C-alpha cells in the first residue's frame, strides 16, 4: 500500500503529448498492447506478450512473446506487483533493440484509476515506463460504491450503438472511468480508465478507434499471440 501511494503521486491524469490534442490523433503512429497468459495448472509460469501496432491501420509492427517466471502471489488490488515487472522488462527490451518502434501509448488489460487506491496496473506500468497508459478492463471492479446492480445493468443496456459511453462516478463524486460499448456486435461493455499521461476523454476516444471487435486490437493481438506461444 505504501509503494502504491508513493507511485500514485506521480500519475498524470491529463494529456501530455502533442498527438493527444490533434484531430483524429494525426501524430499517433504506434499503439502498444500488453498481456500475460498463464500456463494451465501452473500459476508460476506465464507468457508475457508486448505488441506494437501501426495507427490508424492497426497492423502488427512488433511482437515479443516469451516465457517468464511469476514469483509474486495473486492478491486482489495488488495485481501489478505480480505482472508489471515482466512487462517493464518487455518495454525495456523494445527500447534497446527497436527504439524506433517504441509505442506512443500502451493499452493494458486491467484498470488504471478504477482501483481501490486509484492505482491499478495501467497506472503502475505507466509510471514505471513513463509512457502514456490506458486501462481497459472487461469487468467492473467494485470500488468507491460502484456495483453491477440493476441500475448499472440498465445503463449498460441503454448503450445502443458502438462508441456510446457513460461515466463511472463513485460515491466520492469522482469520475473513475467510463463504460464503453466498443462494438455494435457486443452488448458487453469495456471499462476504460486513465493509467498515466492521458485524459479520460482521450483514453475513451482512442480505445474506441482501436476496436475492430469488442477488445481493442493492441490488447487482442497481445492476447492471441501469447496464447498461441503457450500452445506451441
**Structure pTM?**
0.96
Q: How far is CA 15 from CA 21, 25, 196, 209, in A?
A: 8, 12, 9, 17
In the prediction, which pLDDT does 142 show? Answer: 94
Residues in Cβ contact with 76 at an 8 Å cutoff, skipping those fewer than 6 apart: none
Q: What is the mean pLDDT of residues 78-94?
A: 96
Q: List pLDDT tens digits, range 35-68.
A: 999 988 888 999 999 999 999 999 999 999 999 9
Q: What is the mean pLDDT of residues 102-125?
A: 97
Please give the share of the chain, as a percent, with pLDDT higher than 90: 93
Contact between 106 and 194 under an 8 Å Cβ cutoff? The reply is no
Task: CATH number of the domain at 134, please.
Answer: 3.30.2170.10
Dig out the grid coordinates for 116 from the structure.
481501490
Q: What is the total count of domains within the chain?
A: 1
* SS3 assignment, position 225: helix
Structural domain containing residue 174: 1-9+17-231
Q: List pLDDT tens digits, range 137-157.
A: 999 999 999 999 999 999 999
Amino acid at each position: 500500500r505504501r509503494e502504491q501511494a508513493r507511485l500514485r503521486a506521480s500519475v498524470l491524469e491529463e494529456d501530455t503529448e502533442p498527438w493527444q490534442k490533434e484531430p483524429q490523433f494525426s501524430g499517433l503512429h504506434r499503439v502498444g498492447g500488453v498481456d500475460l497468459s498463464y500456463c494451465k495448472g501452473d500459476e508460476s509460469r506465464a507468457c508475457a506478450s508486448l505488441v506494437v501496432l501501426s495507427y490508424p491501420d492497426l497492423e502488427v509492427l512488433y511482437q515479443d512473446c516469451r516465457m517468464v517466471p511469476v514469483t509474486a502471489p495473486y492478491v486482489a488490488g495488488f495485481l501489478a506487483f505480480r505482472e508489471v515487472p515482466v512487462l517493464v522488462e518487455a518495454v525495456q527490451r523494445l527500447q534497446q533493440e527497436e527504439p524506433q518502434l517504441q509505442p506512443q501509448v500502451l493499452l493494458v488489460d486491467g484498470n488504471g484509476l478504477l482501483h481501490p487506491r486509484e492505482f491499478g496496473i495501467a497506472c503502475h506500468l505507466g509510471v514505471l515506463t513513463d509512457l502514456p497508459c490506458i486501462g481497459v478492463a472487461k469487468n467492473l471492479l467494485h470500488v468507491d460504491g460502484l456495483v453491477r446492480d440493476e441500475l448499472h445493468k440498465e445503463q449498460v443496456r441503454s448503450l445502443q450503438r458502438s462508441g456510446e459511453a457513460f461515466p463511472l462516478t463513485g460515491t466520492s463524486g469522482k469520475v473513475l472511468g467510463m463504460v464503453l460499448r466498443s462494438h455494435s456486435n457486443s452488448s458487453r461493455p469495456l471499462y476504460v480508465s486513465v493509467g498515466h499521461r492521458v485524459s479520460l476523454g482521450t483514453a475513451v476516444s482512442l480505445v474506441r478507434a482501436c476496436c475492430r471487435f469488442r477488445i481493442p486490437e493492441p490488447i487482442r493481438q497481445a492476447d492471441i499471440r501469447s496464447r498461441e506461444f503457450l500452445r506451441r
